[in-house]
Amino acid sequence: MVKYLQIKSTDASILEKAENGGAVTSILKSLLELKTVEGVLNIKKGNDVYDGIPTYTTNPDDLINTAGSLHCAPTMISDIVARYLKDEVIAVTTKPCDAMAIDEIMKRSGINRDNVFMIGLNCGGTVRPTVAEEMIRLFYDIDPETVVSEEINKGSFIVELEDGTEKSVKIDDLEDEGYGRRENCQRCELKVPRKADIACGNWGSSKGYTFVEINTPKGEKIVQDAIDNGYIEVKEPSEKQIKIRSKVENIMIKMAKKTQKKQLNTEANEFDVFTRCLKCYRCRDVCPVCNCKVCSLEKPYFNENSNEKPDPLLMHGVRMGHMSFSCVNCGQCEDVCPMEIPLAKIYQRVQLKYREETGYVSGVTTEKPMIYSGDKEEIVE
Ligand SMILES: Cc1cc2nc3c(=O)[nH]c(=O)nc-3n(C[C@H](O)[C@H](O)[C@H](O)COP(=O)(O)OP(=O)(O)OC[C@H]3O[C@@H](n4cnc5c(N)ncnc54)[C@H](O)[C@@H]3O)c2cc1C
Ligand code: SF4
Ligand code: SF4
Ligand code: SF4
């Protein structure tokens, strides 16, 4: 199997809108038109660049509206697959955290591996939409509404304005001031989603091409089908290009590990922050790998004598019992917590400890975790 390819769309309209070589949009289109899948789940731009909307389509003509990368869309897609699309045969674009979460749900039998074609996107990180707007006002000195596109390139967050001019600020400078990528993204060490059938990115690629790593026989087949039916053209990357890609990936991983040390050793991780908890359960509801059919927190022994939800410490103890092995550090819980409790930090720290003890990496290790309960196979309907 050829492991790496550079891919370019043969469709000029896709090339015009795509982030790189339009490989993703063209392969998605081929999957729909060749009837390999029934539908495609990906992200499209809403009113502006801060608005990434998950979208499901069965019409190949819709896909042109989804081309391009949205770095201010920290959307988690796996939950949508598990809740609404598990009986369909679909293709889905996955950042590494999406792919890890889908993998964890697959291990719990919540999604059938054969039904899902994962089109992976390498990921250097996402910025919260509100943070992006504020930092653009502060650091770029412009009205965020005048931004027509954004990209992360060579360590900078670059915005393009209505008049075609660009402004760029180094991500390190933004993050030193508490802006830039979400904190969990700064700590994220999975940059290439190798659990996806293919992993697509720009590191190492020739201009106008997408650099694609083929990870599975399914991935190999869908690329070959797209070539055979004229959707894409391909060329092999040089040794030098492969090395560049690997070098950038390793630098990103090193930076993430360094940030883990810095961020996970602060007092903010102490469990007393849970006393702030309102028991709204948003963190549980949004967590992609927390989706048992009957949540332990809803079981009668927790509310035998009253309708009160359990004490926050008990609630988070129960969640900790489940998340210690499963957390994929997607940051969704922290994003939605109204009390700004650093949940992803806390859960990632515990997952890393579990990893140290058992070697189990959530969303990556093929086997199920050691302290896995059969009850978790019952995924929400
Ligand atoms: C947040 C983010 C960060 C990235 N960081 C890197 C990086 O550091 N290094 C690197 O090599 N590559 C990175 N990529 C991948 C790169 O930007 C391109 O997506 C990839 O090269 C494919 O290009 P293409 O022209 O083939 O894709 P296109 O044909 O333009 O298709 C892009 C596809 O991605 C989907 N998409 C857009 N935004 C999101 C999102 N937020 N979540 C899920 N799906 C989405 C779209 O719906 C579309 O289907 C990143 C992508 C994203 C979304
Ligand atoms: S957690 Fe990792 S994969 Fe997910 S958006 Fe952040 S950097 Fe990307
Ligand atoms: S989202 Fe925050 S406040 Fe709500 S239950 Fe979770 S930790 Fe508590
Ligand atoms: S605990 Fe938080 S960071 Fe971990 S997988 Fe769940 S939502 Fe994501």
CATH of 266-377, one of 3.40.50, 1.10.1060, 3.90.1150, 1.10.10: 1.10.1060
- Residue 381 banded pLDDT, cuts 50, 70, 90: very low
Would you state the pLDDT for residue 97?
A: 97
Domain ranges of the chain: 4-123+188-260, 129-180, 266-377
Going from the Cα of 234 to the center of ligand 2, the distance in angstroms, rounded, reads 28
- 128 burial (CB, 10 Å; 0-12 / 13-18 / 19+) is buried
As for ligand 1, residues whose beta carbon falls within 6 Å of it are 18-25, 42-43, 52, 66-71, 73, 75, 93, 95, 121-124, 126, 152, 200-203, 210
Would you state the pLDDT for residue 2?
A: 63
Would you state the pLDDT for residue 380?
A: 46
Residues 185-213 have pLDDT tens digits of 999 999 999 999 999 999 999 999 999 99
Whether the per-residue pLDDT at 374 is higher than 60: the answer is no
Q: Is the CB of 102 under 6 A from ligand 4?
A: no
* Total Cβ atoms within 10 A of residue 296: 16
What is the CATH architecture of 4-123+188-260?
3-Layer(aba) Sandwich (3.40)
Residues 68-101 have pLDDT tens digits of 999 999 999 998 999 899 899 999 999 999 999 9
- The tokens of 247 are what? 């070098």
- Residue 368 banded pLDDT, cuts 50, 70, 90: confident
Average pLDDT of the chain, as a whole number: 91
Would you state the pLDDT for residue 270?
A: 67
Whether the per-residue pLDDT at 269 is higher than 80: the answer is no
> What is the residue with the minimal CA distance to atom 4 of ligand 3?
280
Looking at the CA of residue 287, tell me the nearest atom of ligand 4. 7
Return the exposure string of 88-104: e unless at least 16 CB atoms fall within 10 Å of the residue's CB, then b. Answer: ebbbbbbbbbbbbbbbb
* Total Cβ atoms within 10 A of residue 149: 15
Structural fold of domain 129-180: Nuclear Transport Factor 2; Chain: A, (3.10.450)
Q: Which pTM value belongs to this model?
A: 0.94
Going from the Cα of 210 to the center of ligand 4, the distance in angstroms, rounded, reads 30
- Residue 320 banded pLDDT, cuts 50, 70, 90: confident
Cα–Cα distance for residue pair 145/151, rounded to 1 Å: 16
Percent of the chain scoring above 70 in pLDDT: 94
Residues 95-114 have pLDDT tens digits of 999 999 999 999 888 899 99
What residues form DSSP beta bridges with 54? 43
Going from the Cα of 215 to the center of ligand 2, the distance in angstroms, rounded, reads 19
Cα–Cα distance for residue pair 45/53, rounded to 1 Å: 6
Whether the per-residue pLDDT at 45 is higher than 70: the answer is yes
